[in-house]
């Protein structure tokens, strides 16, 4: 029997829709694969089935996971779906399949002997670690229109994961965090809610139009960092372990 490969959108909603469609198809699960690689080398002796993202189907899958597996397992699966790794969709599908047939679905992530569950756990941990790092490494700049803006270039799709933290910390400010690589921005209105916008029309040059007050504070911050640094005790290797170079280029204290 030819393998059936369901091609879904590279998003949590796309992956969950793919899971729903696979279950609805009634095809033998052993001959099915879920992939979010829309472009790439096609596999021989495989039938490709396109999945159109459906928010209603995705919501049904999300509620099923949360109700049967519990909030912690749902969080692990959600974070894994935010990974940049190409094998995430099939690992998530197989993990959900395992959980739905398990006698102890709320202990799903304890079954690390299963390769797919172990993979989801690894992906979730990597995404969680990057999100945690960015909570401390994000640097906002005040633009000329008084909006606070931060530009980041994370490996994983983490803007939705870090947005609640900054919404709590800066509830009355108008701010945005822009994922440069994905052209994705989380936007927060002062005193209101936050939302996510994806567009190819963002003018990245506009994010560099900082206010005069911001320039003054940036110079003061760099001067402070220089004044507390002890040149004789510099350890660049340790610094890069705790603060990787890919984060430093978006931090004002490393910009000269």
Using the predicted structure, report yes or no on whether residue 233 has a pLDDT greater than 70.
Answer: yes
Out of 11-15, 219-223, 250-254, the most confident range is 11-15
Dist CA 134 CA 178 (whole Å): 13
Q: 99 near 68, Cβ under 8 Å?
A: yes
Bridge partners of 143?
210
Classify burial at 184, counting beta carbons within 10 Å of its beta carbon; exposed 0-12, middle 13-18, buried 19 or more: middle
- The predicted pLDDT at position 100 comes to 92
Using the predicted structure, report yes or no on whether residue 242 has a pLDDT greater than 90.
Answer: no
- The predicted pLDDT at position 167 comes to 95
DSSP secondary structure code for residue 105 in this structure: G
pTM of structure: 0.88
- The predicted pLDDT at position 204 comes to 79
Q: What is the pLDDT of residues 176-208, one digit of tens each?
A: 999 998 999 999 999 999 999 988 888 877 878
Q: What is the pLDDT of residues 55-108, one digit of tens each?
A: 999 999 999 999 999 999 999 999 999 999 999 999 999 999 999 999 999 999
- The predicted pLDDT at position 40 comes to 63
- The predicted pLDDT at position 65 comes to 96
- The predicted pLDDT at position 37 comes to 78
> Which ranges of the chain would DSSP assign to H, the alpha helix?
12-25, 55-69, 71-81, 88-101, 115-137, 159-169, 212-228, 236-242, 245-248
């Amino acid at each position: 029997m030819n393998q059936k490969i369901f091609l879904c959108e590279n998003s949590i909603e796309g992956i969950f829709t793919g899971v729903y469609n696979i279950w609805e198809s009634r095809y033998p699960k052993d001959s099915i694969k879920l992939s979010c690689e829309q472009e790439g080398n096609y596999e021989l002796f495989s039938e490709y089935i396109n999945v159109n993202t459906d928010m209603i189907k995705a919501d049904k899958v999300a509620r099923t996971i949360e109700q049967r597996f519990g909030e912690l397992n749902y969080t692990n699966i959600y974070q894994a779906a935010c990974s940049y790794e190409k094998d995430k969709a099939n690992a998530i599908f197989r993990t959900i399949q395992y959980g739905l047939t398990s006698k102890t679905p709320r202990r799903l992530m304890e079954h690390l002997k299963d390769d797919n569950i172990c993979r989801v756990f690894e992906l979730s941990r990597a995404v969680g670690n990057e999100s945690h790092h960015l909570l401390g490494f994000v640097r906002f700049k005040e633009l000329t229109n008084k909006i606070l803006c931060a530009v980041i270039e994370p490996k994983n799709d983490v803007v939705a994961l870090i947005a609640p933290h900054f919404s709590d910390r800066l509830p009355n400010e108008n701010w945005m965090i822009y994922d440069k690589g994905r052209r994705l921005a989380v936007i927060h209105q002062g005193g209101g809610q936050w939302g996510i916008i994806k567009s190819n029309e963002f003018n990245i040059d506009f994010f560099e139009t900082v206010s005069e007050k911001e320039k003054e504070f940036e110079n003061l911050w760099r001067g402070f960092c220089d004044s507390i640094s002890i040149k004789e005790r510099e350890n660049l290797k340790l610094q890069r372990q705790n603060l990787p170079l890919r984060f430093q280029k978006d931090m004002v204290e490393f910009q000269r």
